[in-house]
Structure 1
Amino acid sequence: MTLSGGLSRPGERDRPIIKFTEIDWTLCLVLALIAGAGALMLFSIAGGSWEPWADKHLLRFGIYFILMIALALVDLRVWFSLAYPIYGVGLLLLVAVALVGDSSLGAQRWLAVGPVRFQPSEIMKIGVVLALARYYHGLSADSARLSWKLLIPAALIGAPVLLVAHQPDLGTAMLIALPGLAVMVLAGLSLRLIVVGAVGVLAALPPFIFFVLHDYQRNRILTFMDPEKDPSGNGYHIMQSKIALGSGGLLGKGWGLGSQSQLNFLPEKQTDFIFATLAEEFGFVGCVSVLFLYGVAIFMALRIASISHSHFGRLSAAGVTATFALYVLINGAMVMGMAPVVGVPMPMLSYGGTVMLTVMIGFGLVQAVRVHRYTEVTSGKGSLM
């Protein structure tokens, strides 16, 4: 028996069939629509062919969708008990990258285990959120607001961020740091400390840019401020992206008719700059439609976070949603020339299995928070008893 609106009684929530029906299938549909839009764009920029991108994109989404559903059925107390181990394994793998990682294009970001090659930094996008959510779950409101205990979450965020920035991978470092800071704020961080921290970051930016960043990273930022200064070099990406965005107009040139992408003027058209391809072929209307889908997904995920009965559930779902939202925000700003090019793809729309896997695992956690929203998560060791 269920309550009105399809919500199960707390006593019935552990039945497998009830768990399955508690999944937010509307959110699943929205994610499928975004991935479908990505497949259409990948088909277009390949000259009307499913290969080499669109077929793999859809296959990966299908596999990861099943994984998301499986993770949604995992008890929230299991997520709680695994939070620190996931973080710890991710941190050890980042150290391994620094010591024996594979290098490519001047960056040391990958680990190779036999034929498998992966980026451990992706694990930390979930690991940091889980570790922070577990830590704050057992912390008093006063300690979360302002106390020496805030050094612990600062260290939980700072350690992986420094290791990832050293690779160097500034975009991923931001996608670890900012959601972590969002969890701290949502946990009740003092407004005074937030203001002081923001002022400190702004003051540290100039010396960080000129004395810490690598030359190519510094050039990206300077080029972002004046791309016309080097139109055939560092400014090429931004200028071609702006041309594609502007040429699409209101309704676009039509599917498969984008000159910037079809004639290969637009770099990384299948990954970082796929949103510019969308703008050229489907115009302002197409861009707004896809951004609306992203907005719906973010709203629904935040609503799921708000209805969880556990502090761990609320913070973990909100942190994962913040990561997803930042993907969209950073890529959109980058494509429009409002932010430096940092290699952050548009989630579910861009081609790439690693980012899609991270996003779908994140939404598996969000769905688990919804399915187990009545679950009481105990502090301490996170026992299932």
Structure 2
Amino acid sequence: MGHGDGRGRMVSSAGADDTGTRILHVDMDAFYAAVEVLDDPGLRGLPIIIGAPDGRSVVSSASYEARRYGVRSAMPVSQAIRLCPSARIVMPHFHRYQEVSRQVMAIFESFTPLVEPLSVDEAFLDVQGVRRLWGSPGVIARLVRERVADEVGITCSVGVAATKHVAKMASTIAKPDGMLVVPAARTLEFLSPRPVRAMWGVGPKAAEALEARGIRTIGDIRESSPEMLDRAVGSALSTRLAQLARGEDARAVDTERVEKSIGHEETFEHDILDRPFLRAELLRLADRVAARLRRAQWEAATVSIKIRFDDFRTVNRSQTLSEPTAVGQRIGEAAQALFEQIDRRDPIRLVGVRAEKLQPAGGGGMGLWDDDEDWRRVEGAVDDAVARFGTATITRARHIGRGEGRGAAQHPRAHGVD
């Protein structure tokens, strides 16, 4: 398995056997950093950290040159700088990443209509139905890589396999700038020696539980009894892992995929103990989330919050609403209620609000009365004002004078996959 910095990289030779394959997983290489190099060629070959330079923000991405020093995404920038003092810190330009992402996705869709974006920098492609037009899956993967490099100017890695799970694992191992083909007949041979942590959907806690019982590889999962797996990770996940370990994955490429959540989070310049201020920040973030929901014509059935303390311990809480909403006041009240359930009173460095379980606006119908009618009217007026005059023209009175979180380093995120 790759280490995120190119070590352990495996690639297929030209003309590799792709019998029985149909799924491509295409993943851009260090995407944010690659786009910054594209716009500033003077950065090429340098260790780059994408993040705010104040040291209290987190790393959004890093070039492979920086990753070789141990720099990783979501690491505090201060820690990343200690690991790689020579790194160049570059502020993120999210609008630019979205723009380049659209170019890349358009290339994918020129090969096949069956494209499932997972995020701005990766997607699944089902190429079974376009073989007569373009060639076998391995050939198509090579063509995709060539066009992304020629037309966009950045590199990608591609996994080619019979299933989504194996294709995603293969693209990770091929990074950076590589292609790995796993023919259907060699699926188990490919999976067996891979660590359990390499499996899509296995988080650190599940991996630790498996490893504590001597289950370290995917082959070990296949050889373990259902009872042992159940004790390690629970019956639902154990059944799923057993299937994946056998190479069984019936998931199709989903072209109707929508955002699973929309969220914003804020990292403060200084750790905050002021609970009223934090409650106000949650409401402000909820307003931003709600505005994006309304623009996209979605409503959220669940609200979640993320709280990171000064020791970097992170707590997440979620609540299912009585009915879906895109009203900032309602989302904010839910976020504040969740915040009050957290007993710990240590200084806080980050707060976040996320809308989850999205559905089309109005899909739940309207009751006999609308408790949110007044807020809906107010927030609609705010949307109109923003559309006419810009985002800085209007805000809640309680936010005036607070700036953006007392000098906060902002990291708004639209979560496509969590």
What is the TM-score when the length of structure 2 is the normalising length?
0.25
Identify the structure with the greater strand proportion: 2
- Greater helix content: 1
Greater relative contact order structure (CA < 8 Å, 6+ sep): 1
Q: TM-score, normalised by structure 1?
A: 0.27
